[in-house]
Amino acid sequence: MVDADKPLNPVSSAELRVVGAETDDHTVSADILLRILNGLQRMAYLFAAADENVVFKERFKPSGELRQRYAIRCGALRAGSVALTLSLPAPQPMMDLFGTPQDVMGSLFDLYAAAQAASFERTQTLLPDPRLRSRALYELQETLPKQGERWSLGLTVEGRGEIISSTESTRTISEWLAKPQAPDAAMTVTGELQRVYYDQRKIAIRYPFDGRIIDCSYTGGSVEDMLYEVQHELVQVTGTCVLDSEGVPLRLTDVTSIHAVDLSPMTFERLRYDDRSLILTPPLTLTPHLDDESSQLYVMMDEPLGVHVYAQTRDQLVEELAGQLSFLWDAYALEAPERLTEPARRLAEELRVWCQIALLIGVNAVVGLDEGNDLSLGSLCGDGRM
């Protein structure tokens, strides 16, 4: 087992691996690779700045000298796998003026380990400055698989073994980043980005429901950094929302995040719901869309399975999907046939055909036996659909 808290000498190299079904053919999409590498480099600059007590206001911009000393270099892909070697520049004579180089690779490893262990306290130790910490967590989240993506990230640092990060870490970071906002104050609004007023720290989006323009103001420089990736797109803006008498947004203040709407397909091999693990074999692929009435909600449907879920964000959509599949299993597959209507009985029969092995595991979980802690939905797609 890896002990991420054990003090070690600074290391200047590491190995990065992308693993999972996404890499079955020993390739990975350029989009995923760029996301990971960009996030790693930005986090390296943040750790270096924290160690050297760099002073910044709202927006963090590493100096040219800092970039030179902590630029991560990538080695060639290793034959037969999707892996990269990462290294920092060798110390130069003039660098002695800055003291001992920051253990950036070790700090990156520790940050991934903190997310895997769901230890927010460890992130506070790594980055005491809340602004640097918040920005680093955002960058960390960008390097990890999104819900529905079929890959995990492995990071190996000399003497520390390998950390494998999955969507569980993504979920943990999302919860951390959402903490500062009161649940009843924050709201996510979807609209088409119209204009950015950098001098006023404000953006304008067109609300799809009635075409009105909604002003969204922000204070943090990290939000401004997000804007460079989402200009002229359909975006989701999260902040404190002021509503009119009919509950329609008038404006947003204290914006904390701006992200492009993501309608790419989502593939699920395993879903977690409460204390259950829902295993999908073969993997289930669903494509979200925005609701027709307001374009404010992500929607996913699968008629053969009786699935129809909606939520404000993709992460919330996955939670709804897991909950609905768990409900369908309990309500139909585990119910006595004589207590079901004819349509419900047909659905239950189909579920039992698709989930013969899963039915035994599911019963054990329901009655509280020691074995079968996972609730498996088995081959939900009995017709071979992905």
The helix/strand/coil state of 232 is coil
Q: What is the pLDDT of residue 114?
A: 94
Fill in the DSSP letter of residue 158.
Answer: T
Q: What is the value of pTM for the model shown?
A: 0.60
Q: What is the pLDDT of residue 379?
A: 35
Tens place of pLDDT per residue across the chain (386 aa): 444 444 445 667 888 889 888 888 888 888 898 899 999 998 998 888 888 777 665 567 788 788 888 888 887 655 545 788 888 776 544 344 333 446 788 889 999 999 999 999 899 888 887 767 878 898 999 999 988 888 999 998 877 788 999 999 999 998 888 764 433 457 889 999 999 998 899 999 999 988 999 999 998 777 887 887 776 689 999 998 887 756 678 899 999 889 899 999 999 888 887 777 777 777 889 999 999 888 999 999 988 777 889 998 898 899 999 888 888 878 887 888 888 888 888 777 766 655 433 433 443 333 322 333 333 333 333 333 43
The answer for residues whose C-beta is within 8 angstroms of residue 327's C-beta and 6 or more apart is: none
The helix/strand/coil state of 269 is strand
Q: What is the pLDDT of residue 359?
A: 36
Rounded Cα distance between 341 and 29, Å, is 47
- Give the end-to-end CA distance of the chain in Å, rounded to a whole number: 35
Beta strand segments in 306-346, E: 307-311
Are 378 and 279 in contact by the 8 Å Cβ rule? The answer is yes
Q: What is the pLDDT of residue 327?
A: 82
Residues 266, 179, 321, CA angle at the centre, nearest 5°? 25
Our CA dihedral for 91, 95, 99, 104, rounded to 10 degrees, sits at -50
Name residue 253's beta-bridge partners: 240
What domains sit in the chain, N to C, each tagged with a CATH number? 13-178 (no CATH), 186-260 (2.40.50.140), 266-378 (no CATH)
The answer for residues whose C-beta is within 8 angstroms of residue 313's C-beta and 6 or more apart is: 188, 236, 298
Instruction: Name the burial class of residue 3, with classes exposed (0-12), middle (13-18) and buried (19+) by CB atoms within 10 angstroms of its CB.
Output: exposed
Nearest to 298 by CA among 147, 139, 167, 141: 147
Going by their DSSP bridges, the two strands 13-19 and 289-290 should be labelled as unpaired
Rounded Cα distance between 237 and 256, Å, is 8
Beta strand segments in the chain, E: 13-19, 73-74, 83-87, 152-157, 161-165, 186-197, 202-206, 213-217, 234-243, 249-260, 266-273, 276-286, 289-290, 298-302, 307-311, 375-378
Q: At what angle do helices 130-143 and 167-178 cross, to 10 degrees?
A: 150
Q: What is the pLDDT of residue 2?
A: 45
Q: What is the pLDDT of residue 87?
A: 82
Produce one character per residue of 149-165: b if its CB has 16 or more CB atoms within 10 Å, e if not: bbbbbbbbbeebeebeb
